């Protein structure tokens, strides 16, 4: 099967979307005749060397687009240029008599970029798309302000309803993928030919499942994530104050950002600072060790489109307490953790506390859910498994 894969950045030496796109390309290249189109950053390892045996066509990413990394990651200002490159390349390839069974626009993940693939008759796949989750009304007062360019995300819904190029992209696509089922609701105003939920993230391997003997009344909770309000750390800190009768319950936070100082002050105000450890941003090897040395991963992020950090914890056999919203609601099931409805801050933190309390008094449940978490991520999250599933979708599209 000949597959054309496009993404503005595919780079295993980078992070975020570029890194994930590289993982997909490597895994898919083992199963199909793959051609990759992408930008390339000067000074990085050439993409052709990162993807041996895969046909690679690249263009230099413009320097002006790289001046503000956060802005570049959020808005992809060079997308029109990349789209033009792709359109010209495909037109020339077709003129030479080349054919492709399927084309796939893997990235960007945000549902705001009209695809150059819409101009051709090649059956094409878009996604997995993500983002577009809003902050629940009851939490907005504590969410604080955001940079202007992040607030432009509020226009996404308007564009999906009214941008003819964007609508044509999704309506003409043979298959639209979303990181979780909620994405289909985001695109509800567009007539899709087919939709499938596919988490864009994967794992290389699972860790050996280790026994985690729990002492009565003790439980080590772990939260890993950027220090922003939506990741739910403040709610966990408040939950700790409702567990004063269980002094053996502790919380470790790994992550940096403006929310960390707020949570430290909250812990001090609530009188639980001695039971909460704030490590700040830590290197990857230390994060991996935290997964090995804690009992439960607690990540009640209420505006999480995907949730790769959940996969990280689950591959170590950690049960999860998370929010019943967005990506976490799709990733975690009743065999791997607990999902809590997102209501209001007071109720949310109380339900987090109650879930922790149940775990403290039921260590066998902690062990069972931990094993279930690792089984789930091994069954669906390993990159070869994910690539095989994607190729199956390609075959349906091509058929």
- In order along its 399 residues, the chain shows pLDDT tens digits of 999 999 999 999 998 899 999 999 999 999 999 999 999 998 899 999 999 999 999 999 998 876 666 665 666 889 999 999 999 999 999 999 999 999 999 999 999 999 999 999 999 999 999 987 889 999 999 987 555 445 555 677 777 887 999 999 999 999 999 999 999 999 998 999 999 999 999 999 999 888 888 889 999 999 999 999 999 999 999 999 999 999 999 999 999 999 999 999 999 999 999 999 999 999 999 999 999 999 999 999 999 998 889 999 999 999 999 999 999 999 999 999 999 999 999 999 999 999 999 999 999 999 999 999 999 999 999 999 999 999 999 999 998
- The answer to whether residues 262 and 151 belong to one domain is no
- The answer to whether residues 287 and 317 belong to one domain is yes
- The answer to whether residues 302 and 224 belong to one domain is yes
For residue 353, being part of any structural domain is answered with yes
Question: Cα(115)–Cα(188) distance, rounded to whole angstroms?
Answer: 19
Residues of the domain holding 268 = 219-379
- The answer to whether residues 331 and 193 belong to one domain is no
Q: For residues 318 and 144, is the Cβ–Cβ distance under 8 A?
A: no
Question: Cα(187)–Cα(264) distance, rounded to whole angstroms?
Answer: 39
- The answer to whether residues 55 and 120 belong to one domain is yes
- Domain with residue 32: its CATH number is 3.40.50.2000
For residue 162, being part of any structural domain is answered with yes
- The answer to whether residues 299 and 176 belong to one domain is no
- The answer to whether residues 374 and 388 belong to one domain is no
- The answer to whether residues 264 and 296 belong to one domain is yes
For residue 356, being part of any structural domain is answered with yes
Token output for 354: 């109650």
Q: For residues 201 and 311, is the Cβ–Cβ distance under 8 A?
A: yes
* DSSP SS3 for 52: coil
- The answer to whether residues 352 and 234 belong to one domain is yes
* DSSP 8-state secondary structure symbol assigned to residue 155: G
- The answer to whether residues 103 and 84 belong to one domain is yes
Q: For residues 21 and 106, is the Cβ–Cβ distance under 8 A?
A: yes
Our count of domains for the chain comes to 2
Q: φ, ψ for residue 151 (rounded to 5)?
A: -75, -15
Q: For residues 373 and 307, is the Cβ–Cβ distance under 8 A?
A: no
Question: Cα(248)–Cα(169) distance, rounded to whole angstroms?
Answer: 54
- The answer to whether residues 329 and 184 belong to one domain is no
Question: Cα(8)–Cα(350) distance, rounded to whole angstroms?
Answer: 43
- The answer to whether residues 159 and 238 belong to one domain is no
For residue 212, being part of any structural domain is answered with no
pTM for the model: 0.91
Q: For residues 298 and 221, is the Cβ–Cβ distance under 8 A?
A: yes
């Amino acid at each position: 099967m000949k597959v054309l894969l496009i993404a503005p950045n595919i780079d295993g030496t980078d992070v975020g979307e570029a890194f994930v796109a590289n993982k997909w390309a490597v895994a898919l290249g083992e199963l199909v005749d793959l051609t990759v189109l992408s930008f390339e950053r000067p000074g990085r390892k050439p993409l052709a060397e990162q993807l041996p045996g895969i046909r690679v066509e690249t263009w230099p990413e413009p320097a002006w687009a790289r001046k503000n990394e956060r802005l570049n990651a959020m808005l992809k200002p060079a997308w029109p240029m990349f789209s033009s490159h792709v359109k010209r390349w495909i037109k020339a390839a077709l003129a030479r008599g080349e054919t492709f069974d399927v084309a796939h626009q893997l990235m960007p993940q945000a549902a705001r970029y009209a695809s150059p693939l819409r101009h051709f008759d090649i059956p094409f796949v878009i996604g997995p798309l993500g983002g577009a989750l809003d902050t629940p009304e009851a939490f907005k007062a504590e969410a604080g302000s955001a940079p202007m360019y992040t607030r432009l995300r509020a226009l996404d819904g308007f564009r999906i309803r009214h941008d003819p190029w964007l609508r044509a992209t999704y309506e003409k696509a043979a298959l639209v993928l979303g990181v979780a089922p909620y994405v289909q609701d985001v695109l509800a105003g567009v007539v899709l030919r087919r939709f499938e939920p596919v988490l864009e993230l994967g794992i290389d391997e699972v860790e050996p499942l280790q026994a985690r003997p729990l002492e009565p009344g003790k439980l080590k909770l772990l939260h890993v994530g950027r220090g922003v309000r939506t990741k739910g750390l403040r709610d966990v800190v408040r939950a700790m104050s409702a567990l004063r009768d269980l002094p053996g319950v502790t919380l470790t936070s790994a992550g940096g950002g403006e929310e960390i100082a707020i949570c430290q002050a909250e812990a001090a105000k609530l009188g639980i600072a001695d039971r909460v450890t704030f490590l700040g941003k830590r290197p990857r090897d230390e994060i991996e060790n935290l997964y090995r040395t804690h009992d439960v991963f607690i990540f009640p992020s209420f505006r999480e489109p995907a949730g790769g950090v959940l996969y990280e914890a689950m591959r170590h056999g950690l049960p999860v307490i998370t929010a019943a919203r967005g990506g976490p609601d799709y990733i975690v099931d009743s065999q791997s953790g607990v999902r809590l409805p997102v209501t209001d801050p007071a109720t949310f933190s109380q339900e987090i506390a109650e879930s922790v309390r149940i775990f403290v008094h039921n260590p066998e449940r902690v062990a069972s859910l931990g094993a279930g978490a690792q089984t789930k991520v091994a069954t669906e999250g390993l990159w070869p498994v994910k690539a095989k599933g994607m190729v199956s979708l390609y075959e349906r599209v091509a058929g």
